[in-house]
Structure 1
Amino acid sequence: MELRDISRRVGIAAGVVTVLALAAPYAVLSGGSYASQLADYYASGVVGGAGIALFALLSVVVVASVERGNLDPGTLAGAAVVLGVATTLSAAAWATAIEPSPMFRDNLWLVWHARVVVALSVLIPVAAAAYARELLA
């Protein structure tokens, strides 16, 4: 496989995995006692968890549609890089804005959750940049 195809697939997978990792606390902890704490957890930061998911899924759609030929591939590849950077920056802002709550004491894995989401989101702009470089070379 060539680097262009690999980076495209990695970009798509990274966006999907970022959203799945972001949704993990909601899937595991959605219950009566943690509802307000979980809402505060996802609302932290500039755009919150919903904004991160939006940027990540939009990155997936853009990276997946570059090869379709409906728009200029160079423009879409550049847009994918920008969306990937926006995803990572919003995830980093979210991770730094999270206030610990009693939910963290009961679920110690939440301490690392935001950092894992940021780490996974870094793969999106890296793969998009590699894809754009191969596409425009």
Structure 2
Amino acid sequence: MDLRAVARRTAIVAAVVTVLVLAAPYAIVSGSGYADQLAAYYVSGTVGGAGVVLFALTSAIVVGSVERGNLDPGTLAGVGVVLGVATTASAALWTLAIEPSPMFRDNLWLVWHARAVVAVSVPVPVAAAVYAREVLT
């Protein structure tokens, strides 16, 4: 088993899954009365949901581009780790800043949604760190 390739793919897939899980309420929550509440849900915190998406997709791009050889692989792998940590940290800060709204009463799964985003983002920095270790050895 090639740990380097597995860790690389895991980091990329975890970052994409983080974005998909984060976007789930857009696809599931319906009703015209929820538009403002859903917008407030995503802008909670210092970076909001958009910051989580930005960090997650950027980390996927960086980890995916290490093998291209355009920059020093060790440096780029380290940047991937930092972006992975930023993804999980921003997801956790976003989760802590969310204020429950009436939308939560009708969609009880939203109570756990933000925590699920944090949970699926955890493999991003872990896999990126394993990948960086393999690149540097």
Q: TM-score scaled to structure 2, two decimals?
A: 0.98
In structure 2, stretches of 5+ residues that fail to align are none
**Are residues 1:22 and 2:6 paired?**
no
Counterpart in the other structure of 1:44: 44
Deviation for aligned residue 1:31: 3.6
Deviation string, structure 1 residues 35-88 (Cα, Å, up to 9, x no partner): 000000000011000010000000000000000000000010000000000000
Deviation for aligned residue 1:33: 1.1
Deviation for aligned residue 1:113: 0.3
**Are residues 1:105 and 2:77 paired?**
no
Counterpart in the other structure of 2:59: 59
Counterpart in the other structure of 1:6: 6
Deviation string, structure 1 residues 2-45 (Cα, Å, up to 9, x no partner): 11000000000000000000000011125411000000000001
Deviation for aligned residue 1:94: 0.2
Give distance in 1, aligned partners of 2:53 and 2:129. 20
SS in 2 for 1:113: helix
Identical residues among aligned pairs (%): 74
Give distance in 2, aligned partners of 1:109 and 1:58. 28
In structure 1, stretches of 5+ residues that fail to align are none
Conserved in 1, the CA contact under 8 Å of 2:29 and 2:107? Answer: no
Deviating runs (4+, > 3 A) in structure 1?
none
Q: TM-score scaled to structure 1, two decimals?
A: 0.98
